[in-house]
Amino acid sequence: MATLGRRERVIVGAGTVVALVVGGYLFLVEPLLMRARDGKSERELIRAVGEGIYVGRVWYTYPINGQRAGDFTCTVSGDSYLIRDGVLAAPLAPNALRINANIEQVFAHPIGVGNRAEPALVWGAPEAYYVSALAAGQIPFAAIDPSSSVME
């Protein structure tokens, strides 16, 4: 059990193989549960962030510089918003932001952990992850130039 703060703890457990249907495809997966004890509601996490970005979904997530380096990149794909004064303020355009970070940066400045585990399917992975939301500070975002995504 890894301690994230005085009150938040991550609990990891494994289950049996289950069938999961996503987008018309059948996946046989082993669920892995990651849950925070004494976690916060989504509203409490957003309030705790104050000013920032709520990332709802990402895609095109890849390790860079080799997996051992811990560096990764991903594109913010949807259901994402600016947070102003502790509330969701304005939607972000899909595919307009990229996160280029190291996994240590994600866990170096925790603000809070959510109290609900949600399924997160990793494409092509033999397991399904059930993870809580994480509010973290100092995650680097980069704007994606709209002209770079236009095919000629």
Q: Could you read off the pLDDT of 35-84 as tens digits, one per residue?
A: 566 789 999 999 999 999 999 888 888 889 988 898 999 999 889 999 99
What does the mean pLDDT of the chain come to? 77
pLDDT at 13: 39
Q: Within 10 Å of residue 148's Cβ, how many Cβ atoms?
A: 6
Give the mean pLDDT of 101-128.
82
Q: Does residue 151 lie in a domain region?
A: no
**Number of domains forming the structure of the chain:** 1
Which residues constitute the domain of residue 140? Answer: 2-144
pLDDT at 60: 84
Q: Using the predicted structure, report yes or no on whether residue 143 has a pLDDT greater than 90.
A: yes
Q: Does residue 81 lie in a domain region?
A: yes
Q: What is the rounded CA–CA span in Å between residue 21 and residue 125?
A: 14
Q: Within 10 Å of residue 46's Cβ, how many Cβ atoms?
A: 20
pLDDT at 28: 53
pLDDT at 5: 37
pLDDT at 96: 92
Question: What is the distance in angstroms between the CA of the first residue and the CA of the last residue of the chain?
Answer: 51
Q: Does residue 149 lie in a domain region?
A: no
Q: Does residue 34 lie in a domain region?
A: yes
